[in-house]
Structure 1
Amino acid sequence: MTLSYDIHGDGPTVVLLHSSVCDRRMWDRQVPVLTEAGYRVVRCDFRGFGETPVADRPYSDAGDVRDLLDHLKCERYALIGSSHGGEVALEVAATRPEAAVSLVLLCAAMPGHVAGPELREFTERKKEFLAADDIAGAVELNLATWMGPDAQEDAHHLVRVMQQHALETQRAARFTSTAAPVDIGRITAPCLAVSGAHDLADFREIARTLPRRIAGARHLELPWAGHFPSLERPDEVNGLLTDFLSTTFPAR
């Protein structure tokens, strides 16, 4: 078992998977609400994020998460993923459909997705900043791209801190996560795919198409949200999460 993690509360297990801009601290506003609702909340840092060091060998984020869940002896669980964390959640749910019994995707990426023009442009601009060793510029590009209009200054500050730490840590990385091809049609869990009206087109399209790919999935677009709704309006998203879990994976 490799990943740094923490556990809060008792009850059915809910696993929180962070974006590739953030680390597990992005869920600080969700953890107390979910524990109060009766769940055992597990959150982790992927390799090169938060308290988990970079990899010294080839790996996959989904494989690391599966190893962590095995280590914790989690047999049934809900997965909540943001952006890249949503992609990881899809991989885990597709490879362990009997264990992943509820799935919430917040502006998720998707295995095998081919980037559109907006996402390609962002990626190229970020590469330019990093090639120039301008981490501060890359951080501000991330904030300008991903944070919706309702995000408060405390959310901006937290994302800035998390992304700067990740970029500085990953300077030493020799390996990046590799995703194996998966058939997300194997997912049997009820799935809520959330998109933000102010997000890039890639992520809005992924969320819209998931109900055609996963039986029983439904799509909800938040008109106020950018890429990180759980940081932008945490109270509203907490209500969405607890309502969905109460019907798909009840705590009591």
Structure 2
Amino acid sequence: MEEHRVISGDVELAVHVTGEGPSVLLIHGFPDDHEVWENQVPALVAAGYRVIAPDTRGCGNSSIPASVADFRIDRLVADMIAVLDHFGIAKALLVAHDWGALIGWRLAIAHPERIERYVALSVGHPAALGAGGLRQMLKSYYIFLFQIRGLGEWLMRGRNWRMVRAMARTPQEAQRAVDRLSRRGRLTAGIDYYRANIRMFRQRDVPHCTGVPVLGVASEGDPYITERPMRETGRFVDGPFRFELVRNAGHWLQRDAPETVNSLLVDFLGSDLTNERAA
């Protein structure tokens, strides 16, 4: 992929582009960068799309902003608008995972005129997530630990990055993650997403997503997020909504079940939505 540099306010984003055709914006989550989409990019390009995969602020090869407040959700959304504007994209197809999905929801809610269709992986509408119940709260325990500066970093680095290595499927993936987060300032930047937006995780008064068809994809073995928020997301989408459950996959379903995820993406992004269930 060809790397471009995009200016958004005080940060410079590394944005990776390949392919030709309608533009698909891929937004990664924590603790990833654009490489988390390595199994999806070839499939989307082969299906006739141009893929645009940024490293979000503080991640990958993008610059790290100065303060925790610089990671607030409104600034993360503004970064994605800056990416679309930089490439002259009036309206994009959107695919996002984990923290990227939270950015994606807010982007689709605030700027529906810029999003053609949205595929949310793992994370449902913020209001559905906020009302996820006790089981979801228990699965999200790490978010509250991350609020204590230094503790999150210590937990992630401890025992030779044991927590980070446990997230990966293979030793190779684990080492890539460790190498990525070991770069100066990168681990704290990733955790600052949670520190800057802690209220978001219990917020229920989030506007509906209106005018954007949505595919919500959950995974059967996700240790961090229950199926419930994604299953109930249709209540917060005013328009076509479709739910899919990927079996035999964990939180990183795009890596655990790439063929299944790629099939869902290509099908939804190019499908006739007249028969989709309206939420």
TM-score tier, shorter chain, comes to: 0.7 to 0.9
Q: TM-score, structure 1 length as denominator?
A: 0.82
* SS across alignment from 2:215: strand
Cα gap change, 1:157 to 1:236, in 2 (>3 Å): farther
Matched, 1:29 2:29: no
Matched, 1:225 2:256: no
- Give me the whole-angstrom Cα distance separating, in 2, the residues matched to 1:74 and 1:44: 14
Gaps of 5+ in 1: none
Cα gap change, 1:48 to 1:98, in 2 (>3 Å): same
Contact map agreement 2:98 2:123 (CA 8 A) in 1:
yes
- Give me the whole-angstrom Cα distance separating, in 1, the residues matched to 2:272 and 2:180: 31
Partner of 2:29: 19
* SS across alignment from 1:133: helix
Contact map agreement 1:77 1:100 (CA 8 A) in 2:
yes
Cα gap change, 1:173 to 1:213, in 2 (>3 Å): closer
Cα gap change, 1:38 to 1:81, in 2 (>3 Å): same
Pick which of 57-66 and 8-17 moved more: 57-66
Matched, 1:141 2:163: yes
Contact map agreement 2:22 2:92 (CA 8 A) in 1:
yes
Match of 2:260 among 216, 233, 236: 236
Cα gap change, 1:120 to 1:182, in 2 (>3 Å): closer
- Percentage identity across aligned positions? 23
Matched, 1:68 2:83: yes
Contact map agreement 2:29 2:99 (CA 8 A) in 1:
yes
Task: Count residues with an aligned counterpart.
Answer: 243
Contact map agreement 1:135 1:168 (CA 8 A) in 2:
no
| Displacement of 1:157 | 4.3
Contact map agreement 2:165 2:171 (CA 8 A) in 1:
no
Contact map agreement 2:97 2:121 (CA 8 A) in 1:
yes
Q: TM-score, structure 2 length as denominator?
A: 0.75
How does 1:61-210 map onto structure 2 within 5 Å? 61-108=76-123, 110-111=125-126, 113-114=129-130, 116-124=136-144, 130-131=150-151, 133=154, 135-137=156-158, 139-144=161-166, 151-165=169-183, 168-171=185-188, 176=193, 183-186=207-210, 188-200=211-223, 202-210=225-233
Contact map agreement 1:56 1:174 (CA 8 A) in 2:
no
Output the aligned Cα RMSD: 3.1
| Displacement of 1:98 | 2.0
- Give me the whole-angstrom Cα distance separating, in 2, the residues matched to 1:74 and 1:195: 28
Q: RCO greater where, 1 or 2, for CA within 8 Å and sep 6 or more? A: 1
Q: What stretches of structure 1 move > 6 A for 4+ residues in a row?
A: 172-175
